[in-house]
Amino acid sequence: MTLPAPPTDPEILADFPARSLQADFPFARVHSAVQDPEWFCSDGRCRFDPFDAAAAGFGTCYVATHVLGAYIEKFARFERAIPRSVVDAHRLSQLLLPSPVRVADMTDRTIAGRWNLSAEIWAGDDYEGSQRWAQALSRAGFNGICYPARHDTQAILLSVAVFGKPGYQPTEMIQYNAPQPIPPELIEDAARQFGVEVLPGSPLM
């Protein structure tokens, strides 16, 4: 691990920087076309999954405050260009929280001095360390984590890891609209602003 270990006592994290997320805000999520968007991951493949799923009892649903943020977090990991078939195999959904929640705020600059944390927690390779922090913050009563999108070097676009029961949970994230194919204007916007190109190909119908 390269991140500092989180406190083992949840009370120590009670005054960790926080922000409130409202229930009427449509969060964006890019997800596999064969998977429901209201999915809370707990298998450890994603950054803020629980470190110990059996003990933690929660999963994480990854959303963004802007559709562009959801798109680049999904596709900017490709080294050169995204195969069109990969884009066509995904959908864009918007989800609502059923009620306001309180999340840990990793955009607050005081986490550097008070908690010895840096951008590594949302952009580094120490997934185990990030997962341990997610589990500790969940135990401390936080309902998720707000953090800058890893692939936005200006740190303007925000991502949110929402905690909930593992698996498909349609009552913990509610569909604002039905899943849609990735719109061409979003693909063009990502190419223009981030250089994230899609290889030419025939879109699936």
DSSP result, 72-94 = HHHHTTSSSEE-HHHHHTEEEEE
* Res. 204 pLDDT band, cuts 50 70 90: very low
Q: What is the pLDDT of residue 202?
A: 53
What pLDDT shows up at residue 81? 86
Average pLDDT, whole number, for the chain? 94
Residues 119/47, Cβ–Cβ less than 8 Å = no
Q: Is residue 16 one of the residues assigned to a domain?
A: yes
Query: Percent of the chain, pLDDT > 70?
Result: 97
Taking 90 as the threshold, does the pLDDT of residue 1 lie above it?
Answer: no
In a domain? residue 124: yes
Domain presence at residue 85: yes
Model pTM?
A: 0.94
DSSP state of 204: P
Q: Are 45 and 59 in contact (CB under 8 A)?
A: no
Q: How many domains does the chain have?
A: 1
Q: Is residue 4 part of a domain?
A: no
Q: What pLDDT, in 10s, does the model give residues 155-202?
A: 999 999 999 999 999 999 999 999 999 999 999 999 999 999 999 865
Domain holding 113, by residue range, is 10-194
Domain contains 39: yes
Q: What is the pLDDT of residue 46?
A: 94
| Residue 202 maps to a domain | no
Closest CA to 42 of 162, 153, 173: 162
Q: Report if residue 204 sits inside a domain.
A: no
Mean pLDDT, range 105-109, rounded to an integer: 97
97 found inside a domain: yes
Distance CA 169, CA 53 (A): 16
The per-residue pLDDT for range 151-162, each reduced to its tens digit, is 999 999 999 999
